[in-house]
Amino acid sequence: MKKHMSRSILVMVLLDIVLGVVLSLYIANTGTMPAADNAATYTDGTYTASAKGCLSDVAVTVTITGGKVTNVDIDASGETPELGGKAAESLTASLKEAGSTAGVDAVTGSTMTSDAVFAAMDDCLAQAAQ
């Protein structure tokens, strides 16, 4: 009886490990898609929108080429350079890579600026989707 129970426990532990590895691989491979693989298709052009940040309006200009986001430019010059300015730099690369705001995190310490950037980016993409 003990031998059978020990074997059952060993099999359950082995299955738990295998399932854990499979789950980890699944989670690692289901992140944000890069812009080249982004399923959304937009009308080519340059779109601009702005939203209220912490101290000023934050403007975002998005360029669409071939139906995909190819460039993102953020003007947060009216925000605090150490916070909002740094957030704009960081978010520019992240938004260009992601091709949308989906899966892009706000910059810590610059939540209001980040939210303004996300709102303006979403507005630009809405314009491009029409």
Contacts of 25-32 with C-beta under 8 Å, sequence gap 24+, read: 31/103, 32/97, 32/98, 32/102, 32/103, 32/104
pLDDT at residue number 69: 92
Question: How far is the C-alpha of 76 from the C-alpha of 31, rounded, in Å?
Answer: 28
Q: Which residue reads 């993102």 in tokens?
A: 72
pLDDT digits (tens, 9 = 90+) for 48-105: 999 999 899 999 999 999 889 999 999 999 988 888 888 898 899 999 988 888 889 8
φ and ψ at residue 27, rounded to 5 degrees: -65, -40
* Per-residue pLDDT at 32: 44
pLDDT for position 4: 65
β-pairing, 68-75 vs 45-52, is: unpaired
Q: What is the pLDDT at residue 103?
A: 87
pLDDT per residue as tens digits for the range 8-56: 888 888 888 988 888 777 777 765 444 444 455 889 999 999 999 989 9
Q: Which residues contact 30 (CB under 8 A, 6 or more apart)?
A: none
Q: pTM of the entire structure?
A: 0.68
